[in-house]
Amino acid sequence: MRLRSSVGVLAGAAAVLLLSACGSSGGDDNAAGAAGTSSPAAAIQVVASTNVYGDIVKQIAGDKAEVTSIISDPDQDPHSYEANTQTQLALSKAKVVIENGGGYDDFMDTMLKASKNTSAKVLNVVNISGKTAPAGGELNEHVWYDFPTVEKLATQLAGTLSEVDSANSSTYTANAATFADKVKQLEATEASIKTTSNSAGAAITEPVPLYMLTACGLVNKTPGEFSEAIEEGTDVPAAVLQETLGLFSSKQVKLLAYNEQTSGPETEKVLAAAKANGVAVVPVTETLPAGKDYLAWMTSNVDAIRSALS
């Protein structure tokens, strides 16, 4: 899924906003609807495209950073994101910016350019992952479901924070190592599931959790045309929908990974078919659920897959 937004109006408004903010002093509140931490005035200003990356920053920087996560509402459809002047202002002050990349959150580059902030250090997670599109296919840009990528991000983020704030470099390095160790434990759980999953079939509504499903040894049986149409917000051809529904009645899949943040008539039919045929449903989201950090969220996702297969 790619985040779509309205950012064109901000280019003209940004200059006015920045001028009006010049005389302001005191703490910088996070953008409306954004999640962040209350931090000392000297904290590193960090802006992340979603609260997934915002939380990872908090795990590594602690109170040394003040984080603004542009997409943070777990009930918000990321497709419908609309930029606002407060998030634009946060970007103008940012020392570090984290974007997913891969076409997922292109609004970040547009907003950063409008803010005229040329000094911010930008971490593009898809670039960090080293992943590329397969021959004849499209890149699955949902790389935060890929634990080796998240490990790489933690290491690079610690290095970037250390460049900005060398006095606390040892803290960032230690926190990143602790975080990475916990991510490795999740990888070990995936590997354990893979030993017993026997290449079972899985269905998806969108490619969001595919990296995790693959690491658990599952094989995606969903017609590519179905998940692509859902991801792009276009109609699913009738024949493709029927083929997808047939996965459940013919018992070709052991679970359905269902993106709760975007639904429509076709995905609801798929969900109903899974339930009617006794196929386990594993709900997934693109942003952090309320009350969970990244590690707790991913632990619950892995546990749900293991439970579905049992």
One domain, residues 138 and 265: no
- pLDDT bracket for residue 80 (50, 70, 90): low
Q: Is residue 238 part of a domain?
A: yes
The answer on pLDDT for 79 being more than 90 is: no
> Considering its fold, how many domains does the chain have in total?
2
Q: Is residue 192 part of a domain?
A: no
The answer on pLDDT for 233 being more than 60 is: yes
C-alpha to C-alpha distances, 238 to 225, 250, 272, nearest whole angstrom? 11, 18, 17
* Residue-range definition of the domain harbouring residue 120: 8-185
One domain, residues 167 and 257: no
Q: Is residue 191 part of a domain?
A: no
Q: Is residue 1 part of a domain?
A: no
Helices (H) and strands (E) in the chain, counts: 12, 8
Q: Which of 125, 160, 185 is the last residue of a domain?
A: 185
Look at residue 200 in the predicted model and tell me its pLDDT: 97
For 174-231, what is each residue's pLDDT tens digit? 999 999 999 999 999 999 999 999 999 999 999 999 999 999 999 999 999 999 999 8
One domain, residues 13 and 122: yes
Q: Is residue 242 part of a domain?
A: yes
Q: Is residue 2 part of a domain?
A: no
Give 123's contacts (C-beta < 8 A, 6+ positions apart): 96, 97, 98, 99, 153, 156, 157, 160
Report DSSP state, residue 84: -
One domain, residues 33 and 162: yes
CA distance 104 to 157: 20
Give 218's contacts (C-beta < 8 A, 6+ positions apart): 197, 199, 200, 201, 202, 254, 255, 305
CA distance 139 to 286: 16
> How big is the CA angle at 179 (ends 284 and 309), to the nearest 5 degrees?
35
CA distance 86 to 92: 10
The answer on pLDDT for 171 being more than 80 is: yes
Look at residue 180 in the predicted model and tell me its pLDDT: 98
4: three-class secondary structure by DSSP: coil
Q: Is residue 280 part of a domain?
A: yes
CATH of the domain at 206: 3.40.50.1980
Q: Which of 154, 185, 216 is the last residue of a domain?
A: 185
One domain, residues 169 and 237: no
Q: Judge whether 44 and 95 are in contact, CB under 8 Å.
A: yes
One domain, residues 220 and 126: no
Q: Is residue 16 part of a domain?
A: yes
> How big is the CA angle at 82 (ends 77 and 85), to the nearest 5 degrees?
140
Q: Which of 152, 185, 218 is the last residue of a domain?
A: 185
One domain, residues 81 and 174: yes
The answer on pLDDT for 12 being more than 70 is: no
One domain, residues 41 and 175: yes
One domain, residues 163 and 243: no
Look at residue 136 in the predicted model and tell me its pLDDT: 82
For 95-114, what is each residue's pLDDT tens digit? 999 999 999 998 899 899 99
CA distance 221 to 105: 27
One domain, residues 203 and 174: no
